[in-house]
Structure 1
Amino acid sequence: MNPEIKQYYNDLADTYDSNRFDNSYGKYIDYQERLLFNSFLSPGSSDRVLDLGCGTGRFLDLAGFGVDLSPNMVAVAKGKFPEKEIKEGSLTHIPFEDGFFDVIFSMHVIMHLNKEITEDFLKESHKKLNAKGRLIFDFPSKKRRPNRQHAPGNWHATNSFSIEEIQQMTASHWNLKQFSGILFVPIHRLPHFARGFFMAIDNLLCRSFLKEYASYIIIELEKK
């Protein structure tokens, strides 16, 4: 894993929640993502659920376990959720025994990686899930924006995929259960006061036949 990513999130840990999600844009994303999680996850089923790349714990109310690359992020998450088991680790090294989890989800992490590390993430997650375990993650949609060149200092949100590419990568070991879009409407271009009015239409577009043209895709895979 790129050490720049670890350092970047170490430096952001203390202010991450307020800077990223204590504003109209962050609250919009959080609300939309949680609506999707409600359709992917059964209520109260967090016992064997892992938030992989949990950061400061935004989604740890939905999981019993958390893993993150940044020790500073882990410290903040433990302060918020002392009852959860939260460890340092990565998408390619999950510090739990094989076959332990029913569900692994990972949000806003694949966007920072390249195809090779994404494939390693899929292999590691497959090992850590039990039979018929589910993997849920998001990634930038290639139909909305192409890959940007990975280069030193240029790793942030440079990775994108199409659904066809994900299917090619996963066909031998996973079944694709469902997918949906996130952020079809470019709300960052709208004035703050107007953003909430677009939520309903955005949610409809993200679930429609146009969903692959949303900014992000969230996908659910089932282990074969």
Structure 2
Amino acid sequence: MESSGANARQPTSGSAQLVEYYNQLAERYDDERFANPYGAYIHAQECRLLQRWLAPIAHGKILDLACGTGRLLDMATHGLDASEAMVRIAREKHRRKEVHCGPAADLASFGIHFDGIFCLHLLMHLTCSDIDALFRVCHERLRPGGLFAFDVPSALRRKLTGFRPEGWHGGTAFAHREVTSLTANKWRFKVSRGILLFPIHRLPLRIRPLLRRWDDLIGMTPLKRVSSYMLFCVEKRP
């Protein structure tokens, strides 16, 4: 996969810096990122889409890849994250879940094939070669017909707003067509949606619930390409 020119800054492949960043952030992560109206807005959109997409395999084996502190582990049977500090919190919150610490390449450590894998807020930190490797290992550990859901920042949105990330954090974005090209061989494209179209952090709290409903609806149209993030669901070809 080749990223667009909007993605000039990318992290070092397999960066220990990424892991160390989240190790340092782990104790504050839930409060700083999602215990506020902005985080709650994103969380609600992500949960709604994942619940809908994973419903056909809800009773199967589902992996939350880059599970962090376990924010979305209620929708998975297993979790994997490279940050020891994040995994420790995830295990405390979800004692009945099987949560491993390691990179994506460690998917085989579970010793099973999954019915579904979802991975949010990770690809934006990776190089294109790392993303290709991640897709390969997910394909290997999914059963035929298994689902893979993931998100990426919108390169078109960044181009229109002039946003340029500094350093590796969130340094990679994609155009919609770049992601759909993944379905050409090993994957079958199923669905995509946009989230966080509106700059809700700049808008009054009282109107955000109404905006989220519009955000959800617009995210189903071609305008999803200008949302802040795009979520995709693809299926492993038999």
Q: Deviations over 1:142-186 (max 9, x none)?
A: 121159888xx7111111111211232441110001111111111
**1: CA distance between counterparts of 2:31 and 2:59?**
26
Residues 87, 97 of structure 1: alpha-carbon distance in 2 compared, 3 angstrom cutoff: closer
Tell me which of 119, 139, 159 is aligned to 2:152: 139
Matched, 1:156 2:176: no
What is the aligned counterpart of 2:188 among 171, 175, 197? 175
The one-letter amino acid paired with 2:19 is: K
Q: What is the distance in 1 between the residues matched to 2:105 and 2:183? A: 16
Contact 1:99/1:131, CA 8 A, preserved across alignment:
no
**Corresponding residue of 1:124:** 137
Q: How far apart, in 2, do the equivalents of 1:17 and 1:31 lie? A: 14
Contact kept? 1:46, 1:64, Cα under 8 Å: no
- Displacement of 1:38: 2.2
- TM-aligned CA distance change 1:159 to 1:92, over 3 Å: farther
**Which range is displaced more, 211-220 or 191-200?**
191-200
Aligned position for 1:165: 178
Question: What residue in structure 2 maps to residue 196 of structure 1?
Answer: 209
Q: Residues 110 and 118 of structure 1 are in contact (CA less than 8 Å); yes or no, is this contact kept in structure 2?
A: yes
Alignment map for 1:48-87 (pairs within 5 Å): 48-87=61-100
1:115 aligns with 2:128: yes
Following the alignment from structure 1 to structure 2, what is the Cα–Cα distance between the partners of residues 99 and 165?
Answer: 30
* C-alpha displacement of 1:197: 3.0
Query: Following superposition of structure 1 onto structure 2, how do residues 87-102 of structure 1 map, counting pairs within 5 Å?
Result: 87-96=100-109, 100-102=113-115
Structure 1: 4+ residue segments shifted above 4 A: 146-150
Partner Cα distance (2:169, 2:92) in 1: 27
Alpha-carbon shift at residue 30 of structure 1 (Å): 0.6
Q: Which secondary structure state, in structure 2, belongs to the residue aligned with residue 143 of structure 1?
A: helix
Identical positions, percent: 37
Task: Give the TM-score of the pair, scaled to structure 1.
Answer: 0.92
Q: Which amino acid aligns with 1:74?
A: V
Q: What's the TM-score, normalizing by structure 2? A: 0.87
The alpha-carbon deviation at position 91 of structure 1 amounts to 2.7
Deviates further, 42-51 or 25-34:
42-51
* Structure 2 CA distance for aligned equivalents of residues 37 and 7 of structure 1: 28
Highest relative contact order (Cα 8 Å, sep 6+), 1 or 2? Answer: 2
Partner SS, residue 161 of structure 1: coil
Which of residues 202, 222, 226 is equivalent to 1:209? 222
Secondary structure of the corresponding residue to residue 125 of structure 1:
helix
The one-letter amino acid of 1:79's match is E
From 3, 7, 23, the counterpart of 1:10: 23
Contact 2:108 2:141 in 1 (8 A): no
Decide whether aligned partners of structure 1 residues 47 and 81 sit closer, same or farther in structure 2, where only a CA change above 3 A counts.
farther
Q: Is the 8 A contact 1:98 1:129 kept in 2?
A: no
Q: Which amino acid aligns with 1:119?
A: D
How far did residue 198 of structure 1 move?
1.1
**What whole-Å deviation, never above 9, does each CA across 1:162-215 have from its counterpart, x for those lacking one?**
121123244111000111111111112223343233111111111122111111
Across the two proteins, how many residue pairs are aligned to each other? 222
Moved more, 87-96 or 158-167: 87-96
